[in-house]
Structure 1
């Protein structure tokens, strides 16, 4: 596991990916004291954050976890690609980036939200700021989310709870997520309940069933387009669980003990194959959705610190996590490598060539009419002459017979 942090001046409050063409993704980090948004370029080969792709690696920490060695690279004195400084007394709380990667929304401690447009390339990224009038003075927004297609935007606050595009609904909630088809919005409340809303008319669809001793804390929709699931973190007494609901019936399918401790953040990869959970004391586990089994552990990644954000890289098996104490860090996952497009085409070409070889071998060794075996002392010409000679010496069965 390789990683890098972005500590330095200020305390990291949030971090997320900015998707860019040709997998030249960026990372945006929100900080307080002093308050700013900082954009870093990302080097997937070095699994590091940098602006010039020249990373200053000044120290390394070797930790032992069972039989696995975890290497954590500490990166300091990193220059940034772009930076925006907030006014005095204004701190970023959380962020959501539009799927196009051209803009992002950031909520602030003053109860307002700011819209940032990004333009430029590589080391010449610029911010253009715009005030979102519908989200001015709405109170502290602790959760922001764009739909997968980018057509809908949802916010959630402590006092004035839920907003979808320009329509507002009053629900006391703390976390939310939009479904893959943007039809549903799931939200959880501080009382441990979870409710599903219709994003078209804002009507409540259902309230997820739970036991009296259960509290639902986080929720995320599946994203593979095949399994319509809703994942939720569930606290049952002192036991931390991950529950799965079928969104076609809104019935609970089952639950698993995955992280085995209270989760502070949850994320799903863009292809829907993996689910990530971050704990309140710095652990991260990544789960294969198909089998609901843990495939990666990063214990003590943010040692003793609450993980505030956790996001999958858009194109690599890498996660971005952040905490107030350890800053923003990138971690390469120890999961099976995915097949690239060129690898699939090469594999299919290999199968085609192998089939040609098998056909040729079969053809050479077959006793077909077109390739019948010959005797050792016989040639094709002598064989044909023998047949012709026999036909000339014997009367034909079709000759005219005199009666």
Structure 2
């Protein structure tokens, strides 16, 4: 993956909804190497083979200097826009997808180009907001695509560590290199609350739940040599519980788009996938990056596959060893099978049951004589006793 154009410094998935189908691509930010300049690339993804195309479908050069090397990538939920962070600021690209081709077209964005080195980039789930957190602790939140400023706080933190936006786009959580964490009310453009912690705790990585049913906030908290994953309630920002999952210092944290899994990367190159419902490790990849800290992990939008990156070894594509999800056609097939089984059982019971409608049709029925029940006069001898019935 990293040969030729330099190591992959950052990566992200691109999701394109086309008619009833969803196409998935990967965006790579490559550092320059030799004659190859720093660039952004778009690669195709094959879900059957769990692989990326060997050659990029599109490539855009970021510059010739070392300061033009990519540091982070964020893709708009629609798949139409891509933002790449460098040491100078952020570069904006328009993504144009045709039947067999992809184009990366640079776009001018004065509000982003001169903001300096950014540590965190995040689009809201609805695509209406975009936030960046700088190495200098400066927080900026924009309305997308107008780029109107919703919040501009130069001293939000000492320096940004991590950041995420809630599923309903109402809150933003940010953590600092000094161990503090803060919740922001996006629409009002103000800080809401500081997450509570003891003097010897450091809140490091953070992400909101994504299943839409359980409004939680997940954070990794370090206390000495121990690191645990803590769950906060969004309703009152109180701690609900915690669990030690990876068992070692954690470098990155992310959540799948459907909210069913968390991914935690370590400083020694390991990462694991955690079943959120049970809060248990479902997949473990040891030495995925051979001792180099995992700098980012991102779940594929449609498959149980992740892209993980590290500064030393670049990008790694991993298929998670977790139970397969039910496909839509499988659900319909089960419902059809249940309907047919119910129809067959109904027919069997009908044929073998003493139904009222299966009573004998002859005139000599085993029941009590009709004349006794109705006290009707006797039937003349020359008249058929069954006349008049049906």
**In the superposition, relative to structure 1, how do residues 186 and 399 fare at CA in structure 2: closer, same or farther (>3 Å)?**
same
Question: Structure 1, unaligned stretches of length 5 or more?
Answer: 51-77, 373-379
Is the CA contact 1:7–1:327 (under 8 Å) kept in the aligned structure 2? no
Is the CA contact 1:16–1:309 (under 8 Å) kept in the aligned structure 2? no
Is the CA contact 1:7–1:326 (under 8 Å) kept in the aligned structure 2? no
Is the CA contact 2:262–2:274 (under 8 Å) kept in the aligned structure 1? yes
TM-score of the superposed pair, with normalisation by structure 2:
0.87
Aligned to 1:106: 84
Tell me which of 11, 18, 24 is aligned to 1:15.
11
Q: In structure 2, what is the Cα distance between the partners aligned to 1:27 and 1:229?
A: 28
Is the CA contact 1:279–1:306 (under 8 Å) kept in the aligned structure 2? yes
| Aligned residue pair count | 359
Q: Secondary structure at the match of 1:92?
A: coil
Q: In structure 1, what is the Cα distance between the partners aligned to 2:294 and 2:176?
A: 20
Aligned to 2:384: none
Is the CA contact 1:41–1:122 (under 8 Å) kept in the aligned structure 2? no
**Which 4+ stretches in 1 moved above 6 angstroms?**
none
Q: In structure 2, what is the Cα distance between the partners aligned to 1:163 and 1:109?
A: 17
Q: In structure 1, what is the Cα distance between the partners aligned to 2:222 and 2:99?
A: 43
Matched, 1:95 2:73: yes
Is the CA contact 1:176–1:219 (under 8 Å) kept in the aligned structure 2? yes
Tell me which of 131, 134, 151 is aligned to 2:108.
131
Tell me which of 193, 211, 215 is aligned to 2:202.
215
Tell me which of 80, 84, 98 is aligned to 1:121.
98
Q: In structure 1, what is the Cα distance between the partners aligned to 2:370 and 2:337?
A: 50
With a CA cutoff of 8 Å and minimum separation of 6, indicate the structure with the bigger relative contact order: 1
Q: Secondary structure at the match of 2:331?
A: helix
Tell me which of 320, 324, 331 is aligned to 2:307.
320
Matched, 1:194 2:208: no
Q: In structure 2, what is the Cα distance between the partners aligned to 1:14 and 1:135?
A: 18
Is the CA contact 1:155–1:162 (under 8 Å) kept in the aligned structure 2? yes
Q: In structure 2, what is the Cα distance between the partners aligned to 1:287 and 1:395?
A: 74
Matched, 1:80 2:64: no
Question: Structure 2, unaligned stretches of length 5 or more?
Answer: 143-148, 379-390
> CA offsets per residue over residues 66-97 of structure 1, 9 Å max, x none?
xxxxxxxxxxxx22111111211111110100
TM-score of the superposed pair, with normalisation by structure 1:
0.85
Aligned to 1:286: 273
1:396: Cα distance to partner?
6.4
Q: Secondary structure at the match of 1:345?
A: helix
Q: In structure 1, what is the Cα distance between the partners aligned to 2:99 and 2:87?
A: 30
Aligned to 2:190: 203
